[in-house]
Amino acid sequence: MNYTITKDIFNNGLINNISYHIYELQQKCPALIDDLMELYEVHDYEDILEEEGWEKVTEEGYWYPELKRFVTDMEEVNSLDDEEHEAVYMKEGTYSFDWIHPESGEYKENMSPDELADDLGLESTREVFEHWLVTDNLARWLREQGATVVEEFLGLENIWLRTCTGQMCYMDFRIPEREPEACNMYP
């Protein structure tokens, strides 16, 4: 797997790992315990949606609800249209996506993972293992990938709540080879 793009993004955007400082505040400032505990758990809607059978649309195509099929090949689309099957055009998003549930035939348009999970009444959380100060650009990019970044906490801006550990930060995300412009976000 090629991580060149994400490596460039993180090399330009990580400022400092502040996990130890957050831990020290927790130990030495009991009055802040409730506020600090919010930095140790994040919602993980994409995993719960996947467990429930929902699929994120990752390319343009047409969803045929009665056939419970997503079709990207235009010849097949034309053939199905000739048979008068009704289709819904679906597209890939950056953070708001179109979603399909192949088993039920349902589809939802232009929703972020948290909006869809909320719409379906689903709840899920993940433990936070690391806390990183990041630049504004990396914070924006991380949010687009579905990561949680706290805008401000005790005067610190852009704290990324990392739910992985044990590998390089850039390995948490994979950018498809067809999207190299993702690393051009830094002047």
More confident residue, 59 or 10: 10
Q: How many CB atoms lie within 10 A of CB 175?
A: 20
pLDDT tens figures, 7-42: 777 888 899 999 999 999 889 988 888 888 888 877
* pLDDT > 90 fraction of the chain, expressed in percent and rounded: 11
Q: Is the pLDDT of residue 186 over 50?
A: no
Taking residues 160-169, what's their average pLDDT? Answer: 86
Q: Is the pLDDT of residue 187 over 70?
A: no
Instruction: State the distance between the two ends of the chain, measured CA to CA, in whole angstroms.
Output: 26
Contact present, 20 and 33 (Cβ < 8 Å) = no
Domain boundaries, the chain: 4-44+124-185, 54-111
Q: What is the pTM of this model?
A: 0.58
What is the gyration radius of the CA atoms in the chain, in angstroms?
20
pLDDT tens figures, 115-164: 888 788 877 677 889 999 999 988 988 887 778 899 998 899 999 998 88
Q: How many CB atoms lie within 10 A of CB 127?
A: 11
What does DSSP assign to residue 67?
Answer: T
What does DSSP assign to residue 94?
Answer: S
